[in-house]
Structure 1
Amino acid sequence: MADLPDPDCIFCKIVTRDIPATVVRETDRTLAFRDINPQAPTHVLVVPKAHYPNAATLAAADPELAAALLTEAAEVAADEKIAESGYRLIFNTGAAAGQTVYHAHVHVLGGQAFHEGLV
């Protein structure tokens, strides 16, 4: 069962439209919006509308929703015209991995060549 929205979570507030964001795609279960601090020419975040603290808890609790995030990430890449040239999908899980917002999300990055050795 999905966690209830967290009133202190910035992504929950974006999902409920209490905080504005540049939305690029939306389904009944996911929302995709542009990152406010892009690390590539295309940098979109895809989040579940339900609150899960990270990708691991999402995958354990709702594998279908985890799969929906990946499906939407691929749709974002197609819409952004980076699917053929290539793109990265990144889940950060935990502080040591660089997670700063504790709401599961996948970064869709593309529009530039990523060189071997870059993370």
Structure 2
Amino acid sequence: MADEVTKVQVAQPGGDTIFGKIIRKEIPAKIFYEDDQCIAFHDIAPQAPTHFLVVPKKPIDQLSKAEDSDAALLGHLIIVAKKCATQVGLSKGYRLVVNEGPDGGQSVYHIHIHVPPDRMASWLTSLYWKCKLLVIITMCNTWK
């Protein structure tokens, strides 16, 4: 959790990203889908047993920076996410998550769709309570 918070705090829009390097095959990734517009690969730090990303080859920093001309590409990403979810066995349910900006938890400024299983809802609830507990413990230690 602390690593994710740190990544969000230091992430900056603009410039090359780890996803650009994966797209250009400069660094390894477990890519299981690729076409002329996007790639899909398993998350290097999965938040669930099956967690993959769908990333456009066109570098768009954030969803808020997408333009009307990107509509077809964004729709294509959703269709690819659906196909890939079935391919990796998530046919019973999954989520499509796009983090936007620092307050939305965006840690890589190249738009991408996280596709975790629906079971992640219970994982997020668990994480929420763990974070609350961590805050309480920190406050108690501060008062000593």
TM bin, normalised by shorter chain, reads 0.7 to 0.9
Unaligned runs of 5+ in 1: 1-5
Calculate percent identity across the aligned residue pairs: 39
Q: 1:16 to 1:113 in 2, by over 3 A?
A: closer
Q: TM-score, normalised by structure 1?
A: 0.85
Flag the structure with higher helix content.
2
- Partner amino acid, structure 1, of 2:100: T
- Partner amino acid, structure 1, of 2:76: A
Question: Do residues 108 (structure 1) and 115 (structure 2) align?
Answer: yes
Give the CA RMSD over aligned residues.
2.2
- 1:27 aligned residue: 35
Distance 1:33 1:100 in 2: 17
Distance 2:50 2:20 in 1: 22
The answer to whether the 8 Å contact 2:17/2:110 transfers is: yes
Q: Which runs of structure 1 show a deviation greater than 3 angstroms over 4 or more consecutive aligned residues?
A: none
Question: Do residues 50 (structure 1) and 66 (structure 2) align?
Answer: no
How many residue pairs match? The answer is 113
| 3-state SS of 1:114 partner | helix
- Partner amino acid, structure 1, of 2:30: T
- 1:99 aligned residue: 106
Unaligned runs of 5+ in 2: 1-13, 129-144
Greater C-alpha radius of gyration: 2
- 2:132 aligned residue: none
Flag the structure with higher strand content.
1
Q: 1:45 to 1:113 in 2, by over 3 A?
A: closer
The answer to whether the 8 Å contact 1:52/1:103 transfers is: yes
Question: Do residues 73 (structure 1) and 89 (structure 2) align?
Answer: no
